[in-house]
A and B are shown apart, each in its own frame.
Chain A
Amino acid sequence: MTRLPRRLHPGAWWLWAIGLAAAASQTTNPLVLLSFCAVAWCVVAMRRGDAPWANGFRFYVVLGLVIIAVRVAFRIVFGEAGAGETVLFELPELQLPDAAGGIQIGGPVTLEGVLAALYDGLRIATLLLCLGAANVLADPKRLLKSLPGALHEVGVAVTVALTMAPQLIVSGQRIRRARRLRGDLGGRRHVVRTVLIPVLEDALDSSLVLASSMDSRGYGRNAGVPRRTRLVTAVLVLAGLAGVCVGTYGLLDATTPRQLGLPMLMVGCVLAIAGLRLGGRRVRRTVYRPDPWRWEETAVVVCGLSAAALMVLADAVDPGNLYPTLQPLRWPELGLIPAIAAAVGVLPAIVAPPPRSAMRELDAAPERSRDERELVGAP
């Protein structure tokens, strides 16, 4: 069976990534964490599109490395890397006075301490990489687009706000450039008056134009929904979202009581869905070329969530494998269940449909000759 290339629903990618991140958060075992990193990388390499944002994965990798480096460096400098016996080297020690918080700087640096910092940093970097993968695989703005009808207005506002930021920078640069044309006028003191105010005036002007243009194109047409319904919807959705946030936090952070996690998440979801249903019933809008939710989407989500579930299971069966002991130092091992979790997590690299062809998504796709197109293998 040949599969047509298409864009996977962005929500599926995000749920998969969140599942993977939840799985990674259950452990400090570097082998397990590295295997999750490899999973994220592999899926991105196989299934990312050609859009501009799809090239961003290496930035997340670099950011992850920076996080690890900072984490280790801090531990060493602030003398927290001193636990354990295998001393690598000693830094000159400096005890700050109590007024400065009694912080100790320097001191002995042990292999155990450095490794602990490294494991910790690696865990954060892995979480970051998982979310980075979602960002690279799915256009964040498309995710906003697939918001339920009741949240459409909010979604548009966020999209517009997202485009405003780069526009503010552009207009700031333009005005600063123009200001230099008049020679120097009073130096830095006047920056507020000569740059900031014009930039804000500019932003205000263009928002008015945008608002008027959106108004004349039918934005907010169905404001005929009764006030009461709108209020109930808003309360339900907000309470639901809060529930989802708390639940997710409870699920991801191993130190919070378990009952805060899954049940809270469920309650939040139910509330939010109820609110969205209620609000969406009155909305008369359609979506242009919505991303369909087919079996591939479900499969991708199941893969991510199963990885998380397997790690929770592993935590119950063999916690020692997930949190390898550093005292005494032991080589970490890759347990069976985490290995399965990683294997399940990487499945979307095959399960998800191939992304839409390169040429068409390219930003500056000029008309290409037939021969050239055949050469590159594009449709």
Chain B
Amino acid sequence: MIDFEGVSVTYADADAPAIRNVTVHVPAGELCLAVGLTGVGKSTLLGAINGTVPHFTGGTLAGTVTVAGHDTRDYPPRELAGVVGMVVQDPASGFVTDTVEEELAYGMEQLAVPPDVMRKRVEETLDLLSIADLRYRSTQSLSGGQQQRVAIGSVLTSHPQVLVLDEPTSALDPAAAEDVLAALTRLVHDLGMTVVLAEHRLERVVEYADLVMAVDRHGEVRCGPPQEMMRVTDVAPPVVRLGQAAGWEPLPLSVRDARRRAPELRSRLAETAPPDAGSSPEAQRSSAVPAIRAERLIVRYGRTTAVAGVDLGLYAGEVTAVMGRNGSGKSSLLWSLQGSGRRDGGRVLLGDDTDTATLTPADANRRVGLVPQVPADLLFLASVDDECATSDQAAGRPAGSCRQILDRIVPGIDPGTHPRDLSEGQRLALALAVQLCAEPDVVLLDEPTRGLDETAKGRVVDVVRELATEGRAVAIATHDVEFVAAAAHRVVVLADGEIVADGPTADVVTSSPVFAPQVAKVMRPDPLLTVAQVVARLRPGADSDADAADPRACSR
């Protein structure tokens, strides 16, 4: 269905091709997963399928890409609209019309599909993706998961033979991601559609994949069945890492595969390990008084209540993860804690009983640092050096301190680079460095792992842990259960603006089917959350080696 023959893509001004000499054949009706570190050319690979690369992006494409018999050399993306459906990474920015129904019809209108057929297909698609109740809704008022499904629906109505999606679940909470993936597998199974998707959250998708295309650092692409490819890729989900650590053959791809093998591993663990080795790390609360505490905090937007009277204390030396579905009030809570966000009631007090709302922005910056969901929003100067110098000055620290912090997180960023040209992970690191420069006691991170690959994520885990060891209170709003399992001491779950669960990570995540990380699902009832913990118990005493099997360490 999709054939790449010796394809290389070189962008203008680039020294090396983004992807080189790719020869891949994706048969019809397969679900194909593109994996690789951030910035290795996955998006280029996807874009080449419908001709967006190079027709829209520019650059030079050598070789041939053929989709259902159409050579992209002769067919620009708009002529392939009926063959390839393309869903962009941020669906909301790709919506053309106002309402869901019109959005679904838009592509068909362009293809001159007769009105009665259009009507029928819209109804079918609404049912297929279970979005019938959204039909008259405004596209901008939808939640993330709904937007993603509408975006999929809007290309499905043109009845394409191939569906291409760029990170369809990265911004979604676990439940919404499952909805989207269920819809995708249904398309593959029931309609025989060929689906190609790129995704960093491998733990969510790898079990559904028929084929894996692994893009490596040099832009070379290898393609094969997931079991084989997972051995050689730079990235792998925890369940695969667990299989590698336990020496299982063939590698498990889903929690179910792994669970069948788990009894053997559990009995091995029971024999070899003292029961407490490798159990979840305890927080080192350095003081019984919270570094920051919210009392009956309320945040409202019009008639919706985002945060409904929350009492929460964050302690120095402890990493707290704030979880909950999209729109449950996580971001509002963080912003309100920081003091610059909206607050409609209650108090937020720092350790010395100062209310954060009374601080000036400069003082608030010194006491409570917040890195927003889009770290680029914090950066507005033309080079990394300028950014660092400005924060040194604003924080009253000696010149070079910000750069020092940055080098500790991600070493070796060229000081002259424009922040917009940094990779996703580097940008987060810079935003973090800029905020940490003022040495705040409380650090709040909003969705820090969005769009990060495993390696970068591992580094964020290290940084967050380090911050806690230094005696800061850290809170992270996130959907990423694997990240939470590795980084957080404590988990707070929000629903409808209220705290519904609050406790040590192991207790909270294992008790919830939605928030449980893969390893916890496999190892239940043992309270193990990460591969590193399992390895630590498999080889007690070899703590220094434990890092070697740590999921984030593997790819470093």
Contacts and interface: CB of A to CB of B under 8 A. Distances in A.
A367 B133 CA distance: 7
Residue of A175, A217, A218, A363 with most partner-chain B CB within 10 A: A217
B380 A216 contact: no
Contacts of A286: 108-109, 112-115, 118
Contacts of A363: 136-138, 141
A284 interface: yes
Nearest to A176: B377
B377 to A, nearest CB: 4
Contacts of A160: 96
A216 B93 contact: no
Contact of B77 (A179, A215, A365, A367): A215
Given A182-B434, A366-B133, A285 B110 contact: yes
Interface string B135-162: 0111011000000000000110010000
A219 B78 contact: yes
A158 B381 CA distance: 33
B102 to A, nearest CB: 7
Given A180-B340, A183-B361, A183-B364, A209 B394 contact: no
B96 A182 contact: no
Interface in B56-110: 56-57, 76-82, 84, 86, 88, 90, 93-98, 101-102, 105-110
Interface in A339-379: 360-367
Given A182-B434, A216-B78, A221-B110, A209 B380 contact: no
Given A287-B109, A288-B115, A181 B378 contact: yes
Nearest to B104: A288
A255 interface: no
Given A209-B93, A288-B122, A216 B138 contact: no
B304 to A, nearest CB: 10
B133 A365 contact: yes
B81 A221 contact: yes
A140 to B, nearest CB: 11
Contacts of A229: none
A366 B364 CA distance: 41
Contact of A184 (B56, B110, B141, B360): B360
Contacts of B320: none
A123 B112 CA distance: 46
Contacts of A62: none
Given A180-B361, A216-B78, A218-B107, A185 B113 contact: no
A268 B136 CA distance: 37
Interface in A143-202: 145, 156, 159-160, 163, 174-175, 177-185, 193-195, 197-198, 201
Given A212-B56, A288-B105, A288-B119, A217 B360 contact: no
B380 A193 contact: yes
A206 B90 CA distance: 9
Contacts of B218: none
Nearest to B338: A181
Contacts of B84: 216
B489 interface: no
A144 to B, nearest CB: 10
A163 B94 CA distance: 12
B365 interface: yes
A181 B365 contact: yes
Interface string A213-250: 11111111100000000000000000000000000000
B356 interface: no
A141 B155 CA distance: 22
Nearest to A215: B77
A97 interface: no
B123 to A, nearest CB: 11
B227 interface: no
Contacts of B8: none
Interface stretch (B14-22, B182-190, B366-374, B522-530): B366-374
A194 B81 CA distance: 39
B362 A285 contact: no
B133 A182 contact: no
Contacts of B115: 286-290
A218 B96 CA distance: 12
Residue of A145, A156, A288 with most partner-chain B CB within 10 A: A288
B110 A218 contact: yes
A288 B93 contact: no
Contacts of A193: 380-381
A45 interface: no
A210 interface: yes
Nearest to A163: B98
A163 B364 CA distance: 35
A224 to B, nearest CB: 10
Contacts of B2: none
Contacts of A289: 101, 105, 115, 118-119
B128 interface: no
A56 to B, nearest CB: 16
Contact of A178 (B98, B154, B372, B438): B372
A185 B78 contact: no
B50 interface: yes
Contacts of B107: 217-218
Contact of A215 (B78, B108, B372): B78
Given A210-B95, A212-B52, 20 more contacts: A159-B96, A174-B377, A177-B335, A177-B340, A179-B380, A181-B372, A182-B391, A182-B394, A183-B394, A184-B394, A193-B381, A210-B96, A212-B56, A217-B96, A217-B155, A219-B110, A221-B78, A288-B101, A288-B119, A289-B105
Interface of B: 50, 52, 55-57, 76-82, 84, 86, 88, 90, 93-98, 101-102, 105-115, 118-119, 122, 133, 136-138, 140-141, 154-155, 158, 335, 338, 340-341, 360-366, 369-370, 372, 374, 376-378, 380-381, 390-391, 394-395, 420, 434-435, 438
Rank and list the top 9 A-B pairs by shortest CB-CB distance, nearest first.
A218-B81, A288-B105, A218-B110, A213-B94, A183-B365, A178-B377, A183-B362, A216-B86, A216-B77
6 contacts: A163-B98, A178-B374, A197-B380, A215-B55, A216-B52, A221-B79
